[in-house]
Structure 1
Amino acid sequence: MFIISLFISVACYGALIFTNWVSSAEKTTAHMAADINEEIYNQVYSLMQAPYHMNEVNHKVIENGMLDWSDEKQRDRFFVSVVESHSNSIYSFSYGTANGEYYGARRNENGVVEIMQNNADTGGNSWYYSVNEDLTAGDLVVQAGKFDPRTRAWYKAAVEAGGPVFSPLYKHFVMDDLTVSAAWPVYNESGNLDGVLGTHMLLSDIGSFLKDAVEEHNGIAIIIEKDSNYLVANSMDVSNFAVLEDGTLERYALKDIDNTDIQNAYEQYKTNSATEMIYKGENDNFFVNISEIHMNGIDWV
């Protein structure tokens, strides 16, 4: 009798410890997931605020006539200094005029700043120049081909919105990467469009940040467009798009990721709108924490 009682007592006590341990572990993991998600949200939101802020500050320079477009040195120094004063998350900063000219500065594949120019002197082609110590144009380093800023997604989005907006995602003109641009239309004193200021970001940089944020926690981070479910960035080294033979872009959606648990967890979120949940998958259990990012032109999950 004593042995049975002892056995039952130990068994019940052990079950209590195990249950409490599991509950405590789940709470710890849930808190960890929430903390990581909050950190990612804040970082991504901050990343997306940077190009908006650049346009907000600098569109007045153009709108108020403080930049002399005929002065190449002044023009080049303006764009180079803006790019150099911001983080490497900014790929380029540029201005497309209503008559199709294009000026700006960008970071090349090695992170080196170059000056961009496209006007009658370049025959309507985009030419990139190295930067001298005095921030003026040096040697011609890239001839990127015909380019009309008025045909680009960011330019059109700003004209349509009539104010600051983020562009739809698009393939970059030179880089094999998805790009998002903060665009700001500039109008003259008569209210006519003078051009569009654009600050451009490559989305592979966001993917690298996501990977670094979750790697040590054995987690997964994915950003998708809410309406289309197209991938924006992810921590899994999964391609977000493919460039087809004809140069067009094929974007991948969440359903193209080879992980049904992730797909089903997101479907569950769309059904019950629960931003925090434990999803019991076929292979693993997931502590899911979801936030949405809303800006003018951006609706991401």
Structure 2
Amino acid sequence: MTPTPSQSIQDATHAYTPAFEGTQVEQRRAVSSEPGYSPQASPPSGRKRRIPLRLLLIVPFVLQIFGTVGLVGYLSYRNGQQAVDSLAGQLGSEVSDRIEQNLLDFVETPHLVNQINADTIRTGLLNLQDPAAIGRYFWQQIQLFDSIGYIQFGSEQREFVGVERLADGSFQLDLSNESTGFNYRTYATDAQGNAANLLDESGSYDPRVRPWYTAPVEADEPTWSEIYSYVASPKLAITAVQPYYSAEGELVGVLGNNLTLSQLNLFLQDIEVGKSGLAFIVERSGDLVASSTEEQPFRMSSEEEEILRLPAVESEVPLISATASYLNESLGEMATVETATQRTFELMAIATFFKLRLFEISVDWTG
């Protein structure tokens, strides 16, 4: 008997897959034998792949382990990062507090000296009509205060007396009065603080128009001058100043103590900031006042006739210029900053932490 096509298909299928139920296979093959059937469209035949029980038990367990380890690793990283940030913030605060305290002590001394001198004049122990005596008094006094670099007095009669401490430990006496033709003269001093040999003579000098003189007259109280350049040497200074009045309330003159920016540099260099850290002070204008580096906070003009202030963003110290630039970009101009802040930014792929502190000493400084 000649088998029908369906019987042939059924028999062949049963021979190839004896483990399958005939009805199931016949239904599948019946669909396959319909018109339009394509071998490529045929579902794969064969046995169902069985997953070993061992694998079923191990895989979820391993995945849980990897998930747990990954989560623990991430949390450890986050906690470590937070700990580093916290430590950096704590260290920054400690350094900033130390700088502020030392800076306040440093800038309070000049005002103390001014008050001592005002009291000495008021009690009659210092005669303002004797410039030589004033010079000797200042010469003795400046040796008592290591942080003081210059002590001076200018009067409404255009007279001026000042004593300066030099880097080598010696002293100079500056005079300008009627006896000098109101020219600015600089003398070396002898062992008693008297004027010795003449070192230099500049042109006509009037203390009443200098920044250190006009500041307390306008404020009518002790204050700080703006940063200005010396008349006879390439130095920038800021002066603690106090007006002195007669018993009748008339302005007699102005007492002052100078801090040069180079002195402030040395002051910051003496403060422990860490192995890779540094400290710097800027005005709200963005100009550099001082730093704990060797860089001077000013530069000379091309003609070497004028001292120019150095913007912090133009500093040759990468950490200073990068920090100043970041501050301008993230906080806006220095003049708009009102509160202390601390941030972290990247400098040459290295995380850099900084803390900004405002110093309230009658001058617009941040550090």
Q: TM-score normalised by the shorter chain: which range applies?
A: 0.7 to 0.9
1:12-38 Cα deviation digits (max 9, x unpaired): 333333322222121111111111111
- Corresponding position of 1:38: 97
- 1:111 matches 2:169: yes
- Corresponding position of 2:292: 235
Matches within 5 A, 1:205-220: 205-213=263-271, 216-220=274-278
Q: Which of 1 and 2 has greater Rg?
A: 2
Structure 2 residue runs of 5 or longer lacking an equivalent are 1-57
- 1:142 matches 2:199: yes
Alpha-carbon distance in 1 for matches of 2:104, 2:62: 62
Matches within 5 A, 1:51-90: 51-71=110-130, 74-87=133-146, 89-90=147-148
1:104-131 Cα deviation digits (max 9, x unpaired): 3211232312333222222323333344
User: CA contact under 8 A between 1:210 and 1:234: conserved in structure 2?
Assistant: yes
- Higher mean alpha-carbon deviation, 171-180 vs 280-289, is at 280-289
Q: Select the residue among 122, 127, 134 that pairs with 2:185.
A: 127
Alpha-carbon distance in 2 for matches of 1:102, 1:90: 18
Alpha-carbon distance in 2 for matches of 1:23, 1:274: 23
Aligned-pair identity (%): 25
Secondary structure of 2:342's counterpart equals: strand
User: CA contact under 8 A between 2:156 and 2:252: conserved in structure 1?
Assistant: yes
Alpha-carbon distance in 2 for matches of 1:98, 1:141: 25
- Corresponding position of 1:157: 215
- Higher mean alpha-carbon deviation, 29-38 vs 99-108, is at 99-108
Question: Would the alpha carbon gap of residues 274 and 268 (structure 1) be closer, same or farther in structure 2, given more than 3 Å must change?
Answer: farther
User: CA contact under 8 A between 1:269 and 1:275: conserved in structure 2?
Assistant: no
- 1:262 matches 2:336: no
Matches within 5 A, 1:197-208: 197-208=255-266
Alpha-carbon distance in 1 for matches of 2:286, 2:186: 35
Q: TM-score, normalised by structure 2?
A: 0.72
Question: Would the alpha carbon gap of residues 161 and 63 (structure 1) be closer, same or farther in structure 2, given more than 3 Å must change?
Answer: farther
- Corresponding position of 1:277: 342
1:74-118 Cα deviation digits (max 9, x unpaired): 43331112211101x311101111111111321123231233322
- Higher mean alpha-carbon deviation, 118-127 vs 40-49, is at 118-127
Alpha-carbon distance in 2 for matches of 1:207, 1:181: 16
- Deviation at 1:300? 0.9
Aligned length, in residue pairs: 297
Matched letter for residue 159 of structure 2: E
Matched letter for residue 172 of structure 2: E
Question: Would the alpha carbon gap of residues 209 and 76 (structure 1) be closer, same or farther in structure 2, given more than 3 Å must change?
Answer: closer
Matched letter for residue 47 of structure 1: F
User: CA contact under 8 A between 1:154 and 1:167: conserved in structure 2?
Assistant: yes
User: CA contact under 8 A between 2:212 and 2:239: conserved in structure 1?
Assistant: yes
Alpha-carbon distance in 2 for matches of 1:193, 1:234: 37
Alpha-carbon distance in 2 for matches of 1:106, 1:116: 8
- Corresponding position of 2:32: none
1:239-295 Cα deviation digits (max 9, x unpaired): 422232262332222332363453223543457856233332353333221211123
Let me know the Cα RMSD of the aligned residues.
Answer: 2.6
Question: Would the alpha carbon gap of residues 36 and 65 (structure 1) be closer, same or farther in structure 2, given more than 3 Å must change?
Answer: same
Matched letter for residue 107 of structure 2: M
User: CA contact under 8 A between 1:84 and 1:113: conserved in structure 2?
Assistant: no
Structure 1 residue runs of 5 or longer lacking an equivalent are none
Secondary structure of 1:25's counterpart equals: helix
Q: Select the residue among 287, 293, 307 that pairs with 1:249.
A: 307
- Corresponding position of 1:184: 242
- Corresponding position of 1:291: 357
- 1:172 matches 2:230: yes
Structure scoring higher RCO (CA < 8 A, sep ≥ 6) equals 1
